[in-house]
Each structure stands twice: as C-alpha cells, then as structure tokens.
Structure 1
Amino acid sequence: MKLDITNRQIEIIKASGKILMEKGIVGLTTKNLAAEIGFSESALYRHFKDKEAIISLLIQYLAENINERFTKIMSSDLNGEEKYLAVFGSQFQFFKDNPHYIAVILSDGLMDSSEVIKQSIKNLIQRNSKFFIELIENGKQNHFFTHKIDTEDMVHIMMGTFRLQMLKWKMADFSFDITEKGMKTMKGLLTLIKN
C-alpha cells in the first residue's frame, strides 16, 4: 500500500524525527516543531490533526521505505550472503543519510506515548521480522545459514544486533561511520550463523 503523503508532510515528519532524536518525545511539541520548520503552529494543523498523527506517519513512512528497499533486495538474483549484506548495508546507509529516523528504531519513550504509535511500531517490527524470516528460511533451504539456530531466534539476534549498533552510534553522537562499523559487526554475526 503506497502512502498518500505530501512533500510538506515529509518535511514535517523529518523535522519531527530530528526533534525526537535530540529531545525525546517530551521535546516534540508543536512550538518546537514550528520553530524547527519555520512556520506557525497553526500551519501544522493544516497537515496533521495532532502530534500522534505526525509520529504515526513518520513510522509508516519509514516502514514503507524499508519495505521498498528490502523487497528489491529479496527479489534480486543475489545469493543468501549477498542478500544479508545488502539488507544491512541498505539499512546502515539509509540511517547514515537520515539519522533523524533513529528515534523510531530506538523508540525512546515512543511506545508509551499512545496506543496508535505503539501499534505503528509493532507493525514496523512485524514487517521487518517477515523479511528476515524469509531471508533466513531461504538461506537455510540453500544450506547457507545454520539449522542449529531456530529461525525466530536468528531474527531476534540479527535485529537486536542491528539495534544495539544504532544505539552505540547515537550514544557516540554519530561520531563514527555507521556503515563501516555496522557492516563489520554484521559480517561478524554472519560468520556465526553461516552453515
């Protein structure tokens, strides 16, 4: 399902992500958002009914972006190892280019802010899990990934490792190259889960 989203809404959700990253959920106010974008608070309400709608669309926009990138990789002729590396390479590069979306990955306080936002995050996690399950199952069928680790456990290990790497990058104030360091970590993990 393609999101119906305007360029102005994209500008607003990107600014929201930046504020979430810098100030957390409590810092995302219409006043701060309007100041970040450079227009009045009342102008925000022409595009979104409330803060919850902004955050929900930000998560949906990220989910659609990930879906497009992963679908392209998964439908390619790459082998299991190449798909694994392409998926994580794509993720690290996306967040390197768009660090304001890291607040969604780390979901600092977002899950507790509303049921709608919690559901949006759950949908994102479930969608990503399905891609990783497909990646792992295909890899197991082609004798690329080990059968000694349950697929669901492998998904948790991959997603947890990725999330921890993103947290370390944020805590280091984005001072290192996340693509380089992240891929080094994911290649190390690959060594552990290969058949």
Structure 2
Amino acid sequence: MKLDITARQIEIIEASGKILMNKGIAALTTKNLAQEMGFSESALYRHFKDKEAIVSLLIQYLADNINQRFEQILISNISEEEKYLALFKSQFQYFKKNPHFIVIVLSDGLMDSSEIIKNSIVKLIQTNAKSFKTVLENGQKASVFTSAIEADYLVHFIMGAFRLQMLKWKLANFSFDIEKNGMKTMATLLTLIKQ
C-alpha cells in the first residue's frame, strides 16, 4: 500500500529528520521546524496537526520506502543468499543518500516521546524483521543457511549487527563509506550463518 503524502509533507518530514539527526528530539519543535522550512508555524499546521503527527509520518514514510525496495528484492529471481545481501545493500545505499533518516534506526529517544511514535517504530522493526525472516527461512529450507539456529534468532543477530554498523557510522560523523563497510560486515555475518 502506497503512503498518501504530499510533496510539502515530504519536505517537512525530511527537514524534521535533519533536525532530529543534528540536534535531537528536544530540538524538534514547531518553531525550529518552521524556521528550517522558512515559513510560519501556522503554515505547518495546514499539513500536520502536531509534532507527533510529523514524526509518525516520518517513520511511516521510511517504512513505506523500505517496504517498496524490499518487495522488489523478495520477488526477484535470485538466490536467498543474493537476496540477503541485496536487502542490506539497498538499506546502506538508501541511508548513505539520506543520512537524516538514520535517527529512526537509532530511535531510543523517539520511542520514549509518545505511544503513537513507539508503535510506529515497533511496526517498522517488525516489517523489516519479517522480510529478513522470509529470506532466512527460505535459505534454511534450501540448505543455504544453518538450521542449527531458528530464523527468529538469526534475524535478531543480523538486525543487531546492522544497527550497530549504523551507530558506528553516526558516531563517526558519517566519515566512512557506510555501504562499503556495512556490506563487508553483513557479508562476514553471511559466512557465519551459511550451512
């Protein structure tokens, strides 16, 4: 299902992501956002009812983007091993071009800000986990990935490794090539989970 969103809403949520990335959740105020956008606070309310709605749509926008990219990979006619790598390559390439969305991946502060935002983040995580679990289970059935560890636990390991890689990138002020380093990490993990 494609998200129903206007071009102006996309501009607002991208500006919100930049504020979150650079200054944190406390700095994401309607005043700061209006200043970043170059228009009045009242203009924001024509597009969103409040800050919570902005952050929630930001998460949904990211989830929709990930779902579209992942669906194309999951239906492609490549091996499960290639799908595993393609899912991560897609993620690293996207975040490399859009580092302001990294705050969603590293969202501890966001989860505490509201129940609606927390539920949006949980849904995003569950959706990502489902895609990875599909690839891993299919790979286990095809004797590509180890069956000694349940797919659910493998998902935890690989998503944890992905999150750690993104955290290291953010802490390094995005100074290294996340796609190159990230893919090396995920390929190494692939070696560990292969049959």
Shorter-chain TM band: over 0.9
TM-superposed CA distance for 1:23, in Å, is 1.0
Post-superposition offset of 1:108: 3.5
Q: Which residue of 1 aligns with 2:54?
A: 54
Structure 1 residue runs of 4 or more that deviate by more than 4 Å after TM superposition = none
Gaps of 5+ in 1: none
1: CA distance, partners of 2:42 / 2:33? 11
TM-score of the superposition, structure 1-length normalised? 0.99
What does residue 104 of structure 1 align with?
104
In the alignment, is the contact (CA less than 8 A) between 1:2 and 1:64 conserved in 2? yes
CA distance in 1 between counterparts of 2:150 and 2:141 reads 13
1:184-195 equivalences under 5 Å are 184-195=184-195
Aligned to 2:164: 164
Q: Distance in 2 between matches of 1:39 and 1:122?
A: 32
- After TM superposition, the structure 1 = structure 2 runs for residues 58-137 of structure 1, keeping only pairs within 5 Å, are 58-137=58-137
RMSD: 0.6
Per the TM alignment, residue 59 of structure 1 is displaced from its structure 2 partner at its CA by 0.3
Q: Match of 2:143?
A: 143
**Partner Cα separation in structure 1 for residue 157 and residue 10 of structure 2:** 32
Q: Please list every run of 5 or more consecutive structure 2 residues that lacks an aligned counterpart in the other structure.
A: none
Paired with 1:35 and 1:174, the residues of 2 have a C-alpha distance of 25
What is the 5 A alignment of 1:24-39?
24-39=24-39
Using the TM superposition, give the Cα deviation of residue 168 of structure 1 relative to its aligned residue in structure 2, in angstroms.
Answer: 0.3
Q: Residue 60 of structure 1 aligns to a residue in which SS?
A: helix
Identity of aligned residues (%): 69
Contact 1:25 1:108 in 2 (8 A): no
Mapped partners of 1:91, 1:49: distance in 2 = 30
How far apart, CA to CA, are the structure 2 residues paired with 1:90 and 1:33? 29
Match for 1:46: what amino acid? R
Q: How many residues get paired? A: 195
Post-superposition CA distance 1:108-150 (Å, at most 9, x none): 4000000000000011011111111101001111111001111
Partner SS, residue 109 of structure 1: helix
CA offset digits 1:67-110 (Å, max 9, x no partner): 00000000000101110110000000000000010000000400
Displacement after TM superposition at 1:37 (Å): 1.2
Q: How many Å separate the matches in 1 of 2:2 and 2:83? A: 24
Q: CA deviation at 1:157?
A: 0.3
Matched, 1:173 2:173: yes
Q: Which amino acid aligns with 1:3?
A: L
TM-score, normalised to structure 2's length?
0.99
